[in-house]
Amino acid sequence: MRMKRLIFPMLVLIMLFTYGCNINSSNITPPSSKNSSTKSNKSNINSSISSDPIQQKINTMTLDEKIGQLVIAGVDDFSNNEHSKTLINTYHVGGFILFKQNIDNTNQTINLLNSLKQTNSNSRVPLFLGVDEEGGRVSRLPSELKKLPPNKSIGKINNTSFSNKIGQVLGEELNSFGFNVDFAPVLDINSNPLNPIIGDRSFGRNSFMVSKLGIATMNGIQSKNVIPVIKHFPGHGDTSVDSHIGLPIVNNDLKRLNALELVPFSNAIKSGADMVMVAHILLPKIDSQNPASFSKVIITDILRKSLKFNGVVITDDMTMGAIVKNYNIDDAAVKSLNAGTDIILVCHDFEKQTSVLNAIKNAASKGTISQTAINGKVYRILKLKQKYNLKDSPNPSFSVENINHKISKLLNAYM
């Protein structure tokens, strides 16, 4: 009897002990297990970053190399002179834009572009090589090439197949020379008959038609491995001042822009636009202090967030009258980058080009532009260069006659 009294409490103790052990082992995660999980997550994140070749390249770039990518500059002459060589070798610029003052004939243009690429051959990042080739009166290519009609004439025909083929011809022309960027098509709506700068550069006054024909042209350019730049965001069609000379003021509000001017840009972005050029126009009802080209409201809030554009944003030329007559170009460049721009376009004047580059470096050194922001901009730029597989390899000569024949055949079929 006494033995039975002793056995019962011993059984109770054994059961309690066993239950307690089960709680500890199955329901409570040991601290070491949590640490292991955290380490694993960190390892996965680091592995993802290290496997991204673009991020790997950025991690090895100097500050000067990164800042250089944020500028596209003009060239002084018909040849690759000391200024353009300095911009490449010392400042590591991301690219160049050529104008009529740089283009004499076909062979000279090919040689100039090949020379720029040769000078940049030691760089790990190839050059953007761009030109304004829209057709009509905005054409920089040599006179040996047959001219294409302006967008206004293409708009009258209003045929997407024709517009796409025009884009293909533009892309083939530029690619043959060694260009890889076309600052076209124009997506401005010609809503103001007094506009001195857009006019026949626009497809017309209807937002649907401008969208349809502009996207077809954009896709045609892309098909020849040339990067199209849609312009002039958020719409330069309702201005009465030429921004090359002064600062246009447009008193349209966001409701009006959403209903008209922004429509072609929104549609082009949905259709795969790679690069957007922002105009030097002041819209006081949206941002009373800053032109679009360095307005955070317009670039970040509207273009980036509202229209969901994740590609490369570039300014119009910062040496235009709209800027240099009203603002300090260095301050404007820094403000533009902080507003959300990726590339500052400085088309003329070597001193202005180097001054802008130095101003960006100074702002980066002081933290006025954050390293995180710079890395994000460089990432978008390198991603676009990688997408189009840009290289600094030389271009051979090509048959102008063959391209002219294609142009004549195309125009005869539609016009």
Residue 96 CA to residue 89 CA, distance in Å, equals 14
Contact 201, 138 (CB under 8 A): yes
Query: Is 316 an active-site residue?
Result: yes
Q: What are phi and psi of 128, to 5 degrees?
A: -75, 135
Residue 413 CA to residue 342 CA, distance in Å, equals 40
Residue 11 CA to residue 22 CA, distance in Å, equals 17
State the helix-helix crossing angle for 400-414 and 160-177, rounded to 10 degrees. 170
Give per-residue burial for 259-288: e unless 16+ CB within 10 Å, then b: ebbbbbbbbbbeeebbbbbbbbbbbeebbe
Beta strands in 31-158 (DSSP E): 71-74, 95-98, 128-131
Catalytic annotation, pick one of 316, 330, 342, 392: 316
279 backbone φψ class: left, alpha, beta (φ>0; ψ -120 to 50): beta
Three-class secondary structure of residue 404 per DSSP: helix
Residue 362 CA to residue 299 CA, distance in Å, equals 23
Residue 304 CA to residue 411 CA, distance in Å, equals 38
Residue 94 CA to residue 384 CA, distance in Å, equals 12
Contact 299, 264 (CB under 8 A): no
Q: Is the peptide bond between 280 and the residue preceding it cis, with omega within 30 degrees of 0?
A: no
Query: Is 287 an active-site residue?
Result: no
Q: Which amino acid is at 309?
A: F
Specify the DSSP class assigned to residue 223: T
Catalytic annotation, pick one of 104, 244, 301, 349: 244
Q: Which amino acid is at 77?
A: D
Any idea which residues carry the catalytic annotation?
244, 316
